[in-house]
């Protein structure tokens, strides 16, 4: 008979099968369960990161402090620009000169002898003697009514007569070189327009105008019927008056943080009309200068009503019987504060003995009035034991710049402000056929349609990162192929490079590139690296070793059968690697290559040691000017984080598209 306990312990079908397959009716999930399941499947890390990023970005955009920092770190790009390049053009214009052909020189010993002979012997005799026979002379000298003119032969267009000899009258047309420096604003097949002087506009409050003289300049309505007359003005304006918190004060300079402004402003003392700094003056009755305060004494101190000292005492309910903050072994001294309507009355009472002292605090034009009164009344019985004490940091000051005069064309005027164009832009249109040489042609204004002009901040960081990583990929691919080579010499060279570079800190490699390799290249070859390319080569050389190991591992992860199959089809080794192994290895190495790319973006902050104005360097410079380290480093860190998150998203997208189907 079966054991009852065993029979009862047997598991039924409904207990080993899912309820939906066991014939048991499964009740539908509640809304709560479905919501919980849905919430559990969400990428909460990404959601939290997105919320924090939005909150941080909103606070940065709405804060004037952060906006100022972001503008300085992003090179303040324009939306678009037609200013393509900063250029230096050498332009030639034909010039005609008429005179007597008196010599040829080529800056040699022979030219010196020729000059000597010409000064001693008649030109005709020298010519007949055959002494002036210079091979391929560099210059020709013409004597004109105003003196000698020496012209390089490569700039001569025509010479009449073409066979003129020394002493003959000759007419020479040559190219006179003109150097034009400016911003290329427009160009076509025939001409180039270069802005040589930028427009300058000053905008200020109309309340600063002391006097104004102007005249109307009518426009040319025949050329432009819709033009408007302009007003040319000469305005004498009061110097700007600024109130803010004092940061530093010296004999020659001061810096303050204006009210409502995040940064600091520096001024030279010579540019100021006046400076109002809180100044405290203590005047004593001459009989008590050296007299100590005894326990139980009553010290009577006067002050002037309506001055800054009143605000300091406003919270006291009773100005009498205020204890002096001194400790005595027996008892305490008492102080009585006595208000006076004006400073003279308080000082006269001090001199008469009615008061022991007078304290005077002011931050306006009368801040030194107590010291001036004592100087004007030497017999009044009042002395200053110490000179007036001036605040030198963290107090509110007012500065006023000296008055000046501004002249120009009124471009905009409202009830509150006026804008005057003090300098109009100047343009030069040159014929492209006359250009002799382009000495320099560099990207101009930073703009979204001209990123080559963005030379600082975040754009410099991105440009250096992309160029350095592209070069590192090339180095890494070749070294990685060398690392899987069966040639012992190639293998040894590549292994030496990888092991040495991976053992040296990247900062040391950058310093080596900037201060060892680049100077050696400049001194021993015609090549000269810019600071930016020093950083690019240093980063690429340092990361090339890591990229090489990634490629090596990716190549070796492909089975040997793939190579054998390719060789059996008649391919040689390079063809097998190019068409069979590398395409498969690239799919394998994409994730680590993406990680290295993000790591290089972060390590690009090290290029600041080469004095490059990258994102970190500009952040440090901004902090050194404003002393806002918290906001400055916050902004730098957040911008790096945003860039790395964006690059991570791109890398994951590429990985997903390149992933082999399963």
CATH of the domain at 483: 1.10.3720.10
Give the per-residue pLDDT at 111.
Answer: 52
What is the tens place of the pLDDT at every residue in 333-352? 677 778 888 888 888 888 88
Least confidently predicted of 30-44, 190-204, 456-470: 30-44
146 lies in the same domain as 167: yes
pTM of the model: 0.54
Q: Cis omega before residue 627 (within 30°)?
A: no
Whether 439 maps to a domain, the answer reads yes
What is the tens place of the pLDDT at every residue in 556-594? 888 888 888 888 888 888 888 888 888 888 888 888 998
116 lies in the same domain as 212: no
601 lies in the same domain as 464: yes
Q: Based on the structure, what is the number of domains in the chain? A: 3
Least confidently predicted of 17-26, 79-88, 266-275, 442-451: 17-26
Give the per-residue pLDDT at 136.
Answer: 45
Residue 286 has pLDDT above 80, yes or no: yes
What is the tens place of the pLDDT at every residue in 50-76? 887 788 777 777 777 777 788 778 777
Whether 5 maps to a domain, the answer reads no
Q: In what order do the strands lie in the sheet with 253-258?
A: 265-268, 253-258, 241-249, 396-401, 272-276
Whether 634 maps to a domain, the answer reads yes
136 lies in the same domain as 207: no
Whether 233 maps to a domain, the answer reads yes
437 lies in the same domain as 565: no
Interval 87-95 mean pLDDT: 75
Whether 549 maps to a domain, the answer reads yes
Least confidently predicted of 391-395, 410-414, 597-601: 391-395
Residue 21 has pLDDT above 60, yes or no: no
Query: Could you list the residue range(s) of the whole structural domain that residue 583 is in?
Result: 455-658
Interval 119-126 mean pLDDT: 43
110 lies in the same domain as 207: no
The CA-based angle 234-238-240, given to 5 degrees, is: 120
Between these two residues, 325 and 487, which has the higher pLDDT value?
487
Interval 116-142 mean pLDDT: 48
**9 phi and psi angles, rounded to 5 deg:** -85, -10
442 lies in the same domain as 583: no
| Most confident segment among 186-190, 394-398, 454-458, 537-541 | 537-541
> Which of 394, 413, 446 is the C-terminal boundary of a domain?
446
129 lies in the same domain as 140: yes
How far apart, in Å, are the Cα atoms of 286 and each of 295, 382, 543? 21, 5, 78
What confidence category does residue 138 fall into, taking pLDDT thresholds of 50, 70 and 90? low
Give the per-residue pLDDT at 319.
Answer: 43
Q: Six-digit token pair at 396?
A: 């509110």
Q: How many alpha carbons fall within 13 Å on the CB side of residue 563?
A: 14
Least confidently predicted of 294-298, 490-494, 504-508: 294-298
Whether 2 maps to a domain, the answer reads no
Between these two residues, 39 and 323, which has the higher pLDDT value?
39
What is the tens place of the pLDDT at every residue in 415-451? 889 999 998 888 888 888 888 777 777 777 787 777 7
Residue pair 281/368 in contact (Cβ under 8 Å)? The answer is: yes
CB atoms within 10 A of CB 339: 14
What is the tens place of the pLDDT at every residue in 540-563? 999 999 999 999 999 888 888 888
Interval 604-623 mean pLDDT: 88
556 lies in the same domain as 488: yes
**608 phi and psi angles, rounded to 5 deg:** -65, -20
500 lies in the same domain as 430: no
Whether 272 maps to a domain, the answer reads no
The CA-based angle 83-84-89, given to 5 degrees, is: 100
The SS3 assignment for 393 reads coil
Residue 660 has pLDDT above 80, yes or no: no
What confidence category does residue 25 fall into, taking pLDDT thresholds of 50, 70 and 90? low
Interval 130-151 mean pLDDT: 61
Whether 121 maps to a domain, the answer reads yes
485 lies in the same domain as 594: yes
Instruction: State the Cα–Cα distance between residues 420 and 411, nearest whole angstrom.
Output: 6
Give the per-residue pLDDT at 475.
Answer: 95
Interval 299-319 mean pLDDT: 62
What confidence category does residue 128 fall into, taking pLDDT thresholds of 50, 70 and 90? very low
Interval 91-109 mean pLDDT: 61
408 lies in the same domain as 437: no
Instruction: State the Cα–Cα distance between residues 356 and 313, nearest whole angstrom.
Output: 19
């Amino acid at each position: 008979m079966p054991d009852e306990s065993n029979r009862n312990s047997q598991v039924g079908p409904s207990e080993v099968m899912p309820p939906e397959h066991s014939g048991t009716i499964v009740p539908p999930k509640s809304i709560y369960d479905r919501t919980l399941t849905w919430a559990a499947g969400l990428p909460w890390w990404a959601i939290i990161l997105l919320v924090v990023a939005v909150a941080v970005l909103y606070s940065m955009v709405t804060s004037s402090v952060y906006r100022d920092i972001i503008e300085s770190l992003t090179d303040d790009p324009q939306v678009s620009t037609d200013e393509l390049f900063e250029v230096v053009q050498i332009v030639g214009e034909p010039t005609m000169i008429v005179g007597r052909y008196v010599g040829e020189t080529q800056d040699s010993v022979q030219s010196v002898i020729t000059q000597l002979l010409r000064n001693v012997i008649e030109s005709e005799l020298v010519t007949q003697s055959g002494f002036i026979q210079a091979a391929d002379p560099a210059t020709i000298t013409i004597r004109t009514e105003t003196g000698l003119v020496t012209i390089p032969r490569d700039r001569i267009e025509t010479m009449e007569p073409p066979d003129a000899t020394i002493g003959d009258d000759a007419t020479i047309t040559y190219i006179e070189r003109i150097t034009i420096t400016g911003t290329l604003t427009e160009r076509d097949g025939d001409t180039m327009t270069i802005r040589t002087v930028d427009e300058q506009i000053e905008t200020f409050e109309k309340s600063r105008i002391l006097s104004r003289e102007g005249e109307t300049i009518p426009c040319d309505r025949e050329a432009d019927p819709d033009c408007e007359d302009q007003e040319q003005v000469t305005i004498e304006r009061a110097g700007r008056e600024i109130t803010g918190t004092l940061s530093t004060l010296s004999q020659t300079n001061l810096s303050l943080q204006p009210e409502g402004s995040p940064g600091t402003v520096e001024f030279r003392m010579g540019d100021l009309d006046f400076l109002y700094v809180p100044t405290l003056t203590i005047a004593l009755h001459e009989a008590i200068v050296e007299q100590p305060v005894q326990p139980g004494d009553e010290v009577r101190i006067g002050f002037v009503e309506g001055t800054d000292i009143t605000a300091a005492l406003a919270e006291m309910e009773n100005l009498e019987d205020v204890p002096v903050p001194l400790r005595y072994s027996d008892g305490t001294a008492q102080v009585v504060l006595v208000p006076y309507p004006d400073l003279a009355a308080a000082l006269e009472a001090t001199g008469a003995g009615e008061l022991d002292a007078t304290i005077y605090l002011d931050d306006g034009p009368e801040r030194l009035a107590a010291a001036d009164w004592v100087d004007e009344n030497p017999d009044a019985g009042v002395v200053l034991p110490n000179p007036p004490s001036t605040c030198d940091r963290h107090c509110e000051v007012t500065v006023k710049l000296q008055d000046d005069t501004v002249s120009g064309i009124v471009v905009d005027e409202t009830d509150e402000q006026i804008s005057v164009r003090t300098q109009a832009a100047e343009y030069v249109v040159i014929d492209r056929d006359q250009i002799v040489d382009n000495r320099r042609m560099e990207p101009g204004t930073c703009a979204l349609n001209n990123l080559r002009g963005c030379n600082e901040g975040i754009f410099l960081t991105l440009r250096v990162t992309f160029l350095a990583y592209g070069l590192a990929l090339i180095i890494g691919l070749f070294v990685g192929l060398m690392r899987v080579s069966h040639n012992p010499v190639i293998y040894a060279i590549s292994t030496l490079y990888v092991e040495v570079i991976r053992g040296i800190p990247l900062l040391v490699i950058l310093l080596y590139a900037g201060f060892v390799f680049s100077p050696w290249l400049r001194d021993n070859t015609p090549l000269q690296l810019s600071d930016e390319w020093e950083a690019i080569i240093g980063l690429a050389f340092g990361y090339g070793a890591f990229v090489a190991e990634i490629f090596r591992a990716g190549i070796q992860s492909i089975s040997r059968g793939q190579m054998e199959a390719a060789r059996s089809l008649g391919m040689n080794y390079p063809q097998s690697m190019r068409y069979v192994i590398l395409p498969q290895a690239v799919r394998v190495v994409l994730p680590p290559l993406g990680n290295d790319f993000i790591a290089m973006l972060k390590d690009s902050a090290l290029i600041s040691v080469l004095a490059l104005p990258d994102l970190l360097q500009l952040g440090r410079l901004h902090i050194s000017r404003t002393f806002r380290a918290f906001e400055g480093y916050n902004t730098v860190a957040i911008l790096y984080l945003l860039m790395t998150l964006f690059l991570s998203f791109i890398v994951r997208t590429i990985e997903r598209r390149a992933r082999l189907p399963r």
